């Protein structure tokens, strides 16, 4: 399974940006997908996830500003980011949990990350 993310870049504070991630390759079951981020000098942290049934989870830092959207038919997961702040700056990684082949156990996959820079 390969995850490819698009949509990062520079944005002024208060602006919006939309990240997209597309999953490709062969797999049997797509489970949770989502986004994590890593700011310079900090550990990678959860941003938002969405399960196969559509249940979402957001970090407190982004709740109310970010929205995660999944298209099951296209195997994509987008992150709509509004009211961006400088503290949102970081590399954003697409994440997915997939069962590649039944009856194997689920495995975690990561994209290479896309950089978001929010200027004050």
**Cα-based distances in Å from 26 to 23, 59, 66, 88, 101:** 9, 30, 29, 33, 9
The pLDDT of residue 73 is 87
The pLDDT of residue 84 is 98
The pLDDT of residue 72 is 85
Share of the chain above pLDDT 90, in %: 93
Residues of the chain with pLDDT under 50: none
């Amino acid at each position: 399974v390969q995850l490819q993310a698009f949509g990062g870049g520079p944005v002024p504070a208060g602006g919006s940006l939309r990240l997209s991630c597309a999953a490709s390759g062969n797999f049997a079951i797509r489970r949770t997908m989502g986004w994590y981020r890593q700011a310079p000098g900090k550990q990678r942290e959860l941003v938002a996830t969405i399960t196969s049934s559509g249940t979402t989870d957001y970090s407190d830092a982004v709740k109310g500003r970010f929205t995660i959207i999944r298209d099951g038919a296209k195997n994509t997961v987008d992150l709509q980011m509004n009211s961006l702040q400088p503290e949102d700056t970081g590399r954003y990684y697409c994440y997915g949990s997939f069962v590649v082949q039944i009856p194997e156990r689920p495995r975690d996959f990561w994209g290479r990350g896309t950089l978001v820079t929010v200027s004050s």
